[in-house]
Every structure is written in C-alpha cells, then in structure tokens.
Amino acid sequence: SESSDESDGPTKTICPYCGVGCGIQIAQDDEGEVTFRPWGDAPVNEGSICIKGGAATQSVNHEDRLTEPLIRDDDGELREASWDEAYDLIVDEMERIHDEHSAQGMGFYGCSKAMNEENYLIQKLARRYGTNSVDTCTRMCHSSTVYALRNSLGAGAMTNSMEDLEEAADVFWIQGANPGEQHPIANSQYFRQAVLEGATVIQVDPHANKTTRSFDIDETDRHMHLQLEPGTDIPLLNVVIKTILENDWLDEEFIAERTQGVDDLKETLEDFDKEAAAEECGVPLEDIELAAEKYAMANNAAIFTGMGMSQHTCGVDNVQNEINLALITGNLGRPGTGVNPLRGQNNVQGASDVGAMPNVLPGYRQVDDPEIRADVEEVWDFEIPSEPGLTNVEMSHEIGDTIHGLYIMGENPVMSEPDTNQVEKRLEELDFMVVQDIYETETAEYADVILPATSWAERDGTVVNTDRRTQRMRGVDKVHPNTKHDLDILCDVGQRLFDDGSFDFEGPEEVFEELRQVAPIFHGMTYDRLGEEGIHWPCLEPGDEGDPYLYADGFTTESGYGQIEGVRHQPPKETPDEEYPLILTTGRIIEHYNTGTMSRRSETLNRVEPENFVDVHPNDAETYGVEDGDYVTLKSRRGEIEVQARVTEDIKEGTVWTTPHFADSAGNRLTNDVLDERAKIPEYKAAAAEIEVTVEA
Ligand code: SF4
C-alpha cells in the first residue's frame, strides 16, 4: 500500500531535518497537499517543535518537485522518459562501466536523509555490483568522531541519551557544537532545562551564537563561553587535562580498572606549556583552569561534540582528546556522562549504522574481515568484495581516473563537498551519473538520468536519531503519481542488474527483517516492537529493551578497555598570510539545512533568512573598510562568493564566518578539501581568506 496510515486521522512520523528525531504528524487533503500537525506525546519532543520542523511539509508540496524520470539527450538537454527507458539506460551504462573498468569504476552515494532500509539497499547494491565504494554525508560531519569513538570506546555514537543527560548531568561541556541552532529541541527541552535546574554549561566555540544566548539565564557563573581561535581545540583541552593532572583530580580507580594509556597522556603533556597554549587559543588561562575545575568536580559531566571538532584534518585527535578527558575523570558508563556527538541529519546515524560506508558492513562490521564477510554472505548469497572502498570525497577526487560512474541517492555533493568549483569541473568529466531525488538539485544538473523519488512524508521506514533511538516513519499517499519510493527504485535497478532475488523485497519491513539478520545492533528490533516509542540500539536480542547509555560494565573495544592516547596540537593546513590574512570558518543557521535543497524551498524559512552572509568582527571591519550591511567579496585560494557583511562581536577578531546553505553564494566554493588522514573528513572549519567591499550599504 502507498500509506501505512491506519485511520483517517493524521499520520505519525519523524521530522525530516535534524538528528534530534522529533515526532510530528502530517495530514493530507483531497488534492494531495500535505500539512503539519503537532504530535503532543511524541517520545523525544512531547509536541515541541522548532521553526524547521513546523515548516517541513512546505518542501513536500513545492512546485519544484520532480514528477517524471528525465534523461539527458545527446544535445545535452533533459527530456521526460518512461521508467523502463530510464532503467534500461542505467543498467546498460552500469554494465558497460563494469566491463570496461571493473566494478571499481562505479561509486555509490547513500543519503543521510533517506531511511535505514534505503541506505541498507544502496550499500547492498554497491556490494552486489562488486565494490565497497559506498558512502554518505556522514563522512562530512562526524566520520572523525565515529573513528575515535569506535577505536577508543567501542561504538561510533552518542554514549548516552538526551533523557539521562538532562536528569543526571551537572556539567555540560559543549565543544564545537551549536545545539541552539542545529538541535533546537534538544537544546531547549533537555540542556536548557537541566541548566534551569542547576547544571553548568561550558561552551567552547570561536563563535557566539544562539547556544551562547540560550544559556545566559541569570547572573550566576553557571555558563562559561571559552571563545577560542579556530583550530586550537587540542591545546585548549590539553590545558584542561594538564590542570586536572596537576591537581590530582583524576578518578584513579576508574583509570586503573577500565582504561589503558594514561602514561602516554602524561608523557605527552610533561613539557606542555599551559601559558603558551592558552595564548595560542586566545583564551585567558585562568578561564580554562576554572572550566577544568568545574568539569572535574562535577558528580556527572557530559561532553557534547560537534562539527567544530570533527571537521578538521586533526578531527580524530580532537575527539580523542575529549575521550581522554572523560576517561581520566571516570565520566563514562553511567547516566549524565559520556562523549556525545550531536548528529546532523535525521538519519545520519542510521545511514552508517546500516553499512553505507566503504569500510564496514551493516552494524559496523569490518568488511576486510573474512569471517564477518562469510557470515553476511550466508544471508546475502553473493560474494562481498574484500577491499574497503573509497569515501565520497575520494570518489569525487578519482573522477576521470578510476571512477567513471556515480549513483547518487538524495545527496548534493556540488554543494556539500569542499572546493565545489573543482567538484563541478570533475562532474563535467564523468561518463555517467544517476541521481534519484525529489528536486533537480545543483548536482542533478550534471546527471545523465534523474529519477523522481517520493519525499520523506510519503514513505515508510525507520531512522536512527542522535542518541541511537530507532524510530518508525510513516507516510501519506504519493503526492505525484509517477514518482517512486527510493526503496522501490533500488529494488527495480537491483533486480534488472542481477535478476537473482537479492533485491526482491515487498516493502521496507521486509528489508528491515534482513537488516536484523546481518547487523547485531538491530537484531532484537521488529517494526512491531519499535511501535511509537522506538528503541535505542544496541538491541541484541528479541525482548532486549535497548541501551539508553553505553559501557556500564565494560568498553566494547577489542581489549575491553577505554583507550587513552596523548595528542599534540596540529594547526589547520591553511593559516593566514599576507595574501589571505583572515581565517574563514563555516557553520549552519537554524532556518536552513545543509545544502538547502529543502529549506530554501520553504517560504517560512526563506522569509527569515533569504540569503547568505558573513560575520565580521568590528576591528576587522575597520581594517578592511567594511560597514554593516555592505556586500563584500569573500575569497580563498579556491574561489570567491559575494555576500552581505554582518559586523558583530559574535566572531573572534581575525576570523570570518559564513554558511554552506545558499546555491548562489555557497561557502563551500571557498573551503579546503584537505582530509583527516584516517577518517577522510575535509577541513571545513579553517581556511585562509580575504574580504573586499563590493557594494556599500
Ligand atoms: Fe526537526 Fe530537529 Fe527541529 Fe526537532 S529540533 S523539529 S528534529 S529540526
């Protein structure tokens, strides 16, 4: 059936934007128009909603929706085609690329806005085709976090849940994250509530923002903002850790019983000069020491980490240092503690959980382990390629060399990847690209075949939110009759390519049943058991209630111990010089979402923030002759954009701040595509830049 709605009333589903996973309801009128309704007792948000969630259905009804398959003719123009014609072309081209270049000639992009079942199928399609080159934009936001957490604690996800954090944490250490804008309901309903009840917040960020303002609750010292220079997170945390070591604020019992590597940390910091480091960070030493004391003295202290930490070439080490801090103070394995990445999109956690990654199979099981492959092969009944594949940025870099075709489900690399002028040039050289999406995105402009998909509001499936809660989404009827669900498209393509039954599924529940067999973290879940409340993974056996917090009894690393490892400062790969004297850093705003494909099509959101801008410190504004409201050209070694200047003390002197959301002035035309060597995440958060006034206000 098109819809799982069992009554004439509104349908309960999950907001399609951020990883908080708020429950909403949607209703559909006779014309097919979909509208928002609150879901008063939704498990995560209890009816509260932010501006994006309330406006989400505007993207479903938008006139830009793709309604028919499109094929690019030899003259370069797109024309309408039947599904059969589009599928035939896809199969012919994928077979040709396989014959001419081997399976390694294709790359596959899953989607962090698509559901678990759909991401499960696209990674299965890639592996059945013969390559592990499948990835999603989880690479761009938290691959470094996932890498560090998996290596040092065991699981690449939030250690705790929003509920236990609100109830038990005395200190919230929020570094490089801005939940006031990016996770608004988590911020207002959980974190701010905890602060109103007496908890302390320590925010570490170069930019004052909605999070900063949301905690300026009273005149007490329960909110500190350490406004550091971009890219100095390691030295700042090293000052914190050294202060804890000097004062003997360690949890010796926890360190002895549950960790390995503390001597390495002590050795790394033996000659560490706290004063010089604090100066490098641009934060008074006594403020960092006070923050260290507050964290170390708390009964339960929780760390929240965001893309300000992960999107650096030292992203893995940034997060490792947060893990070090939590481990030496024993702040793991009980409510109100932990190291907690705030995940971006509504299913960015799930997309990697179900294996849309080049190095792991569903459930984070290493693809290069023959025993694991054999285990999964028993269910899949085909041979899985053994070599880990390419990440998404690597696939993009390899276009014209080893990559000749791309299959893109719902992602928009022309806006989301760094140095997008180069991404566009490479896509022009690509032999063949399929895009399945709900709009003709900036990336679809380079596609040979565009397949019109149904939106989030029209489909059933499951998503995993930021605290590992797996929840069901439920759809209303299709708005456009000739669109197809992503899951059905993948099944159609898979059946036509292989004709061996491996893509023979009736619907999402059947796909979930197969996922449960190959991914132990989901094994105990069924659609029925998920119900309306959802379950936090790991849920290993039927009847298992799931784990709101991890590591109560031990870590799930190979050794069973939490791994401490000293790390040293690594400056960004590009630092200011005479030609480019400023540091450019990027971030998102509450009204828009990532590449803006959905949020820029929402009247409500566009009314508030219709165009891009750059934050400039008043002293820099004076130096470069910029007045508030001027249009300026912001340049880096890779490109330039024209944006309006906002002169504000929110940003640190010497740093400018812009967003990636707007197609005509996208921040990623400027960002640097250097990668963290291990996690392959790009350095979105620091590039050298200059600014020039083009039009005075
Ligand atoms: Fe949607 Fe996130 Fe807003 Fe909740 S906080 S309504 S999940 S965008």
Residue 223 β-bridge partners:
201
The CATH classification of domain 11-59, taken from the options 1.10.3720.10, 1.20.120.80, 3.90.1150.10, 2.20.25.90: 2.20.25.90
The CATH classification of domain 582-695, taken from the options 2.40.50.100, 3.40.50.280, 1.20.120.640, 2.40.40.20: 2.40.40.20
Q: Is 22 in the pocket of ligand 1 (CB under 6 A)?
A: yes
Q: Is 605 in the pocket of ligand 1 (CB under 6 A)?
A: no
- Closest ligand 1 atom to the C-alpha of 17? 8
Please tell me the residue having the least CA distance from ligand 1 atom 6. Answer: 53
Distances (CA, A) of 680 to 157, 310, 601: 18, 11, 31
- Closest ligand 1 atom to the C-alpha of 346? 7
Q: Is 691 in the pocket of ligand 1 (CB under 6 A)?
A: no
Q: The complex's ipTM?
A: 0.99
524 touches 540 (CB < 8 A): yes
Give me the pLDDT at residue 80, please: 98
Would you call 239 helix, strand, or coil by DSSP? Answer: helix
**Residue from 49, 191, 192, 593 whose mutation best tests the ligand 1 pocket (most atoms within 8 A of CB):** 49
Give start-end residues of each CATH 3.40.50.740 domain in the chain.
Answer: 70-137+346-522
- Closest ligand 1 atom to the C-alpha of 56? 1
Please name the residues in contact with 181: beta carbons below 8 A apart, sequence gap of 6 or more.
209, 210, 211, 587, 588, 589, 590
Q: Is 342 in the pocket of ligand 1 (CB under 6 A)?
A: no
538 touches 519 (CB < 8 A): no
Q: Is 16 in the pocket of ligand 1 (CB under 6 A)?
A: no
Distances (CA, A) of 143 to 139, 316, 623, 681: 5, 8, 38, 6
Give me the pLDDT at residue 111, please: 94
Q: Regarding the domain delimited by 141-341, which CATH topology (the fold level of the hierarchy) does it fall under?
A: Dimethylsulfoxide Reductase; domain 2 (3.40.228)
Give me the pLDDT at residue 2, please: 40
If you count them, how many residues does the chain have? 697
Give start-end residues of each CATH 2.40.40.20 domain in the chain.
Answer: 582-695
Give me the pLDDT at residue 165, please: 86
Q: Does residue 131 come out as left (phi exceeding 0), alpha (psi in the -120 to 50 range) or beta?
A: beta
Q: Is 42 in the pocket of ligand 1 (CB under 6 A)?
A: no
Long-range contacts of 521-530 (CB under 8 A, 24+ apart): 521/353, 521/363, 521/364, 522/353, 522/362, 522/363, 522/470, 525/470, 527/462, 527/472, 530/462, 530/470, 530/471, 530/472
Give me the pLDDT at residue 3, please: 44
Give me the pLDDT at residue 213, please: 87
Would you call 690 helix, strand, or coil by DSSP? Answer: strand
Please tell me the residue having the least CA distance from ligand 1 atom 2. Answer: 18
- Centre of ligand 1 to C-alpha 53, Å, is 5
Residue with tokens 């903002």: 225
Query: Residue 515: enclosing H or E segment and its boundaries?
Result: helix 508-518
CATH, range 70-137+346-522 = 3.40.50.740
Between CA 271 and CA 274 the distance in angstroms is: 9
**Residue from 14, 20, 345 whose mutation best tests the ligand 1 pocket (most atoms within 8 A of CB):** 20
**DSSP per-residue string spanning 55-92:** HGGGGTS-TT---S-EEE-TTS-EEE--HHHHHHHHHH
Residues of the chain with pLDDT under 50: 1-6
Give start-end residues of each CATH 2.20.25.90 domain in the chain.
Answer: 11-59
Give me the pLDDT at residue 297, please: 97
